[in-house]
With several copies, the nearest count.
Chain A
């Protein structure tokens, strides 16, 4: 019953092009295009077929991504991609699961799910399309907007301290913590590929220019002048050092893997999954056996 027709092999970029060509609604030049391309390329590079992939998103410009990639996908509610993705993963633990969220979406509205997903270490990849603004609702200040950001809700400039997704991820127990830039697709592709391969919760905070609402700073040019690659200077096994690096922002902005650790995933510790690890829960028979059920009742006699 669970034989699956093998995927077309080798997997090509074309396999990830939407079948029913939805018109793409992103603004020309939007950083989301780079993220989409990097994700598609990473999946091809890892030779994962589209039907083995599930992309769950929230609501926002970036969260329209599932409409632009051909694989299983669900755009859910603003802020809720992570818990939906986790629920899915637990019953389909053979699939590659991605949660794709905006900064407002994933770290604002969905902030609680985020900190708890990290400590829970569910095996999925979390891509944060971090454009430091609420793009789809017209550029209001987001939790990652830097102080001074001017918008309709902060006409004199934002006064709140910005969330630093890297520092918080390190504190909350994420086991793979990286930052990419949508303007450099290849390194981003490689980071996403590493994140997918990481056993456990992996976050890639992706700096993403919003060409419509964020025109002063955080442009492609602004970022290109500042980003540098951590790889050579930093040992991703050291959590405290990673924290120190995470505080770097401004003239120099580090990209790459800040931290990586192997810790048991939630899959690995979930009884139901481990009873029959070779068959995802969703593909098992529905009913319990008569004996099992009678035993439960007997406990109550």
Chain B
């Protein structure tokens, strides 16, 4: 897989993210496959952030801890990232700096490229903020990336500032590109031509949270409530941007209110979504129990980050699996599923709404910080509205037309074989919708009577039997007979599939998404496997524990990462060498 890895490092506020995003977009437009990951601290200015962009002629689904080109905007970048340089890579920095140890760069087998970043920015243009543009252009020249693609993005980004701004930036970029083009000799990290087939339609650059938001929109979600929390916030913000599609979006005073709003809206008859990250999700768990008791469909997105407490607020982890599986007091049906990547997140989110309405219960969608904010290029056709619409299933939701036909007095909780009772949209005289959060009878009225209690518990819990049949068994990726099977879940899909791809048949992957109710077919791949290795982004190996509880299979080997940094394919390979 010929690929180029660009990394831009700098302080918060230095434009790392916007530079990276521009470069990424240019590569997507040019027809490359792109994967871009961000690493940032829990602060608004300063510190050290970096943005990493992989561009290739084949799909890329993970980030790497290697760099073909490092653009060092701050003084942390060189000491931190130079040891990770690929052989023959280049480190670009402003020639005016005296803190850069060019010797260290050479020692790492890379080429130091002190460049007139500020000089070009201030002489060709007249503002040193354009130094980033110079650096990107030099990098593009080195990798043989087409200047026109850069120019196109510059035109778009500066058009609202007027033609002069566009021209000035273009001039600066061109100067940088030319400066770089004169220095490509012997530089080996060159882009292959963009893949031909990739021109079938336009591609977009999308992160996990955007995909979830689009999935909710496609599924007809009409009420969203939430409170800001990294890394969940961008789902709330994306959906705020979609209010003109008729979606009620409410920022609430806290996460308790967020889920309560969602339940109120769902009771009103719409598809409702809320979410948070671990700490905010913790505040919602009493309401999961309420949703379970009163059989209120709701989708809760939990975008995991490093815990416990405030923890590593801007870093990734998968530490909340057990918590999500068992959240809420008392016993009630709840569905828990985890997304693999952005495209999967789109369809899975939409499916969550179907499951929530079919089984009239809370559905938790687990994501993680890494997947939520790393960007991947996908054809726009990959997120297919028609496919979502074709699957929409509101279960036994009674809209007014259906209520009109009701013959018997309506009871919200009538017993039924599958445990599901018709759920009326309130407002119609034929169906007053009445429910109490105490144990209740078929009409929703409070009763403590034992026979009714037993029947109601059975009715509610029976819904899990139906849901069970719809749960997806784990995906087995790679050769069926591989000597070693990795076992993973959720957002590590991209990394782990890349590990399998690189392993030349030595590994395969058993990857779980639907976690509760536990899917039929959930144990067979484990039983068929040779050596099992759980690979998780947490300390305790929560999936492995869950699998033992559900299947009895114990997974003896664990590769666990809990430093807040997402695992890379290379790191996983190294760990596997020690085990296998």
Contacts and interface: CB of A to CB of B under 8 A. Distances in A.
Interface residues of A, number: 95
B84 interface: no
A46 interface: no
A56 B309 CA distance: 15
A292 interface: yes
A284 B392 contact: no
Nearest to B254: A109
B-side interface size class: 35 or more
Contacts of B79: none
A126 interface: no
Contacts of A281: 222-223, 246, 248, 268, 270
A282 B223 CA distance: 9
Interface string B406-434: 00010000000000000001111111111
Given A27-B45, A74-B294, A140-B251, A83 B246 contact: no
Contacts of B279: 77-78
B374 interface: no
Interface in A270-290: 270-273, 275-276, 280-284, 286-288, 290
Interface stretch (B58-66, B184-192, B224-232): B224-232
Nearest to A69: B434
Interface stretch (B157-165, B259-267, B484-492, B526-534): B259-267
B446 interface: yes
A143 B385 CA distance: 37
A225 interface: no
A94 B428 CA distance: 12
Nearest to A5: B429
A6 B429 CA distance: 8
A56 B266 CA distance: 14
A240 interface: no
Interface string A41-76: 000000001111010100101001011001111111
B469 interface: no
A67 B217 contact: no
A25 B43 contact: yes
B424 to A, nearest CB: 9
A113 B437 contact: no
Given A67-B436, A71-B432, A87-B268, A301 B240 contact: no
B389 interface: yes
B353 to A, nearest CB: 9
B328 to A, nearest CB: 12
Contacts of A113: 253, 256-257, 260
Contacts of B394: 286
Given A91-B268, A135-B44, A5 B218 contact: no
A140 to B, nearest CB: 5
B204 A300 contact: yes
Given A138-B233, A297-B383, 18 more contacts: A23-B46, A64-B436, A77-B286, A83-B252, A83-B264, A87-B250, A92-B268, A108-B254, A112-B254, A116-B252, A136-B44, A140-B228, A152-B237, A153-B249, A154-B240, A281-B270, A282-B265, A297-B204
Interface class of chain B by DSSP: mixed
Contacts of B481: none
Given A7-B429, A84-B261, A66 B436 contact: yes
8 contacts: A4-B429, A51-B432, A91-B270, A108-B227, A152-B233, A290-B386, A298-B380, A301-B380
A116 B253 CA distance: 7
A112 to B, nearest CB: 6
Nearest to B442: A20
In this complex, which of A70, A79, A275 has the most chain B Cβ atoms within 10 angstroms of its Cβ?
A79
B282 to A, nearest CB: 9
A109 B434 contact: no
Given A76-B290, A273-B248, A84 B445 contact: no
A282 B268 contact: yes
Contacts of A28: 45
Given A5-B404, A87-B272, A271 B261 contact: no
Contacts of B43: 25-26, 136
Nearest to B241: A155
A78 B250 CA distance: 20
B23 interface: no
B203 interface: yes
A212 B220 contact: no
A268 B323 CA distance: 39
A218 interface: no
A89 B270 CA distance: 12
Contacts of B428: 4-5, 51
B521 interface: no
Nearest to A77: B290
Contacts of B443: 19-20
Given A51-B432, A86-B264, A92-B427, A300 B252 contact: no
Contacts of B431: 51
Contacts of B210: 300
Nearest to B260: A83
A84 B248 contact: no
Contacts of B254: 79, 108-109, 111-112
Interface in A245-301: 270-273, 275-276, 280-284, 286-288, 290, 292-294, 296-298, 300-301
Contacts of A59: 310, 437
A83 B250 CA distance: 11
Interface string B432-462: 1111111001010110000000000000000
A272 B429 contact: no
Given A287-B220, A298-B380, A84 B264 contact: yes
